[in-house]
Amino acid sequence: MTPTDRIIQRDLMIEALAGRMAEDSSLFFLSADFGAPALDNLRNRFPDRFLNLGVAEQNTIGVAAGLALEGFKVIVYGIATFISMRPFEQIRTSLSLLAANRAINVNIISVGAGMSYDVSGPTHHCVEDLPLMRVLPNLEIFSPSDGGLIRMFVAGMLEEPYPKYIRLEGKAVEPVHNHLSEPDFRRGFREVRKGGEVCLVATGFMTHRALEVAETLAAQGANPGVVDLFLLKGLDRTALAKVLAGYETVVSLEEGYLGVGGIDALVCQVINPLANPPRLLSYGLPHGYNFERASREELHLAAGIDAPTVARQLAHSLLACQASAPVP
């Protein structure tokens, strides 16, 4: 992997969208006064279909709903914490509820998932949005771990006539998926590393953490798998259950609160109906805010979700599990 393989998800998404806007005059781009270098190019190219709604997230969602009712495909672009939580009731009332019997193609691009904005502190740490968005019917959540998934989304799912919440990582990340087909994409998850006894399940940035953990464990002789989740509502649960059923231990790893409806709950709901469900271990944030001025590594270390800590604990746990296994 070379540094040039690392991409900023926001920039890649905007470039892909600009390409679509050139072909499709029904695409509108609304920003809640949030920018990016790539966005400067887009707004110069499409001055009639780019609008800065200002620091007004509630109106941004309302206007997006109105444009969607008129048949436009709408992109809403903002900082993750603000575009997800400030207008939450607008998202519920004018997107989720309205989509029950109207075509509402509104795509909320939420930039700065999890602790992307590490040093900015807890107002900018977006660690609540996944449970909030999972709660809403008629709305898909797209949480990509890499640029390939973003390209696939823009080429396909962007056309779907329902609201979507798109959760983008703020830091540069490396590729995770190779040769993903459209049917693979629609399954909403992928076993990016096949393993034996233990499988880590994560989404977005944390999939990269899970891969680090897996490499550490593999270096110690274990054979861990990794599943990347990217369509958090529409994913093929039956197929995911089938994959996870092949493991003794499943580990959910998230940059969000434990026990309040995040990835841990999703994985639990998927494996629970199995006849012999794997053991589930969950790693996530304690239910509080971290006010320290800290890097993401430091924040993860404080929460116990950094790769070395997770790898060390899993190694112990797996050994304990083997030690207590009944002798045949």
Partner 1 sequence: METHQSLRSKADWIRRQTLALHKAAPETRLASSLSCVEILVALHYHLLRIDPADPLSDKRDRLIVSKGHGTISLYPILADRGFIPAWELERPFLSGSLLKVIPDTFIPGYETTNGSLGHGLGVGVGVALGLRAKGSDRLSVVLCGDGEFNEGSMWEAIMFAGHHHLDNLTLIVDLNKLSMLDYCDNIIKLSPLSDKLSVFGWKVWEVRDGHDFDQLMPPLAEALAGGHGQPTAIIVSTVKGKGVPRLERDSLCHIRSLAADEVDRLLGGDNHDAD
Using CB under 8 A, list all residues that contact partner 1.
Answer: 28, 48-49, 51, 53-54, 56, 58-59, 61-72, 89-90, 93-94, 97-98, 100-102
Q: Which is nearer to partner 1, 69 or 135 (CB)?
A: 69
Q: Token match 């790893």: residue?
A: 253
Q: Which is nearer to partner 1, 53 or 202 (CB)?
A: 53
| Number of Cβ atoms within 10 Å of the Cβ of 167 | 27
CB 68 within 8 A of CB 103: yes
**Single-letter code of the amino acid located at 231:** L
**Single-letter code of the amino acid located at 134:** R
CB 301 within 8 A of CB 309: yes
* Minimum distance from residue 19 beta carbon to partner 1 (Å): 20
CB 14 within 8 A of CB 42: yes
* Minimum distance from residue 254 beta carbon to partner 1 (Å): 31
Is residue 248 packed enough to be buried (19+ CB in 10 Å), middle (13-18) or exposed (0-12)? middle
Residue among 65, 62, 27 nearest 46 (CA): 27
* Minimum distance from residue 88 beta carbon to partner 1 (Å): 12
Q: Which is nearer to partner 1, 97 or 294 (CB)?
A: 97
Q: Which is nearer to partner 1, 89 or 292 (CB)?
A: 89
* Minimum distance from residue 100 beta carbon to partner 1 (Å): 7
* Minimum distance from residue 310 beta carbon to partner 1 (Å): 42
Q: Which is nearer to partner 1, 65 or 299 (CB)?
A: 65
User: Residues 2-16, buried b or exposed e (16+ Cβ, 10 A)?
Assistant: eeeeebbbbbbbbbb
